[in-house]
């Protein structure tokens, strides 16, 4: 049960920071809205997904993106909460655990304390774990790419995309934790859900 623990909002068009027509940066309506919501509901973790929609500055402008990160940091300090932002990869093939594959200005990466990458299972990994090609397409690995708050781990976490009924005649894909373990024969791993 998540009632009272999970709050979902889609503030379309609201921004944490915006540039006016002269390029001057100013805190936007999303900043004020978050101040109210975080205080009212005692939010501990704020998720912004995708990050690019939460601000109105050029995503490749290091100075501007650094200012957006400062706005989030100020909110974190003011309300003793954390921010989790998601963003897309830059164009091209991304390697698991590569912090530089994040799209946009490097100031976002530099401001972060914990970064992870999500990567689909490769054909080579599927062969190694004995996973069929149809199942492979449903498996995602999560790797640490930057860790400033805990010892780093070389172990990937695996998730399987599963469909969940939302109760409104729609289905949503979610990530369910998955582990890979050796079979009793000791030669081929098998896939199991946690």
Same domain, 16 and 107: yes
Split at pLDDT 50, 70, 90, the class of 106 is: very high
Antiparallel, parallel or unpaired: β 171-182 and 157-165 = antiparallel
Element (H, E) at 163: strand 157-165
pLDDT at site 191: 44
Same domain, 31 and 100: yes
Domain total of the chain:
2
Count of C-beta atoms within a 10 Å radius of residue 14? 18
Split at pLDDT 50, 70, 90, the class of 155 is: confident
Handedness of CA 157, 119, 147, 27 (dihedral sign): negative
pTM tops 0.75, yes or no: yes
* Structural domain span for residue 171: 113-194
Same domain, 135 and 52: no
Same domain, 25 and 99: yes
| Segment 143-154, tens digit of pLDDT | 888 887 777 677
Phi and psi of 107, rounded to 5°? -60, -30
**Contact (CB, 8 A) for 48 and 87:** no
DSSP string, 61-120: -HHHHHHHHHHHHHHHHHHT-EEEE--PBPSSPPPTT-GGGBSS-HHHHHH-SEEEEEEE
pLDDT at site 187: 36
Rounded Cα distance between 141 and 98, Å, is 13
């Amino acid at each position: 049960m998540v009632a009272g623990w999970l709050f979902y909002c889609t503030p379309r068009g609201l921004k944490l920071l915006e540039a006016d027509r002269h390029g001057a940066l100013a805190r936007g309506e999303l900043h004020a809205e978050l101040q109210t919501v975080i205080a009212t509901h005692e939010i501990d973790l704020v998720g912004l997904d995708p990050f690019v929609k939460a601000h109105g500055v050029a995503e490749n402008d290091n100075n501007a993106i650094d200012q957006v990160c400062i706005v989030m940091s100020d909110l974190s300090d003011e309300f003793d909460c954390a921010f989790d932002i998601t963003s897309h990869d830059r164009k091209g093939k991304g390697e698991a655990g590569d912090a530089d594959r994040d799209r946009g200005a490097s100031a976002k990466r530099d401001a972060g304390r914990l970064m992870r990458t999500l990567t689909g299972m490769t054909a080579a990994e599927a062969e190694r774990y004995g996973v069929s090609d149809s199942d492979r397409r449903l498996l995602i690995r999560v790797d640490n790419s930057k860790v400033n708050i805990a010892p780093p781990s070389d172990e990937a976490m695996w998730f399987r995309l599963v469909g969940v009924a939302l109760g409104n005649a729609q289905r949503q894909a979610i990530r369910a934790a998955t582990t890979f373990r050796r079979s009793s024969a000791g030669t081929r791993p098998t896939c199991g859900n946690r």
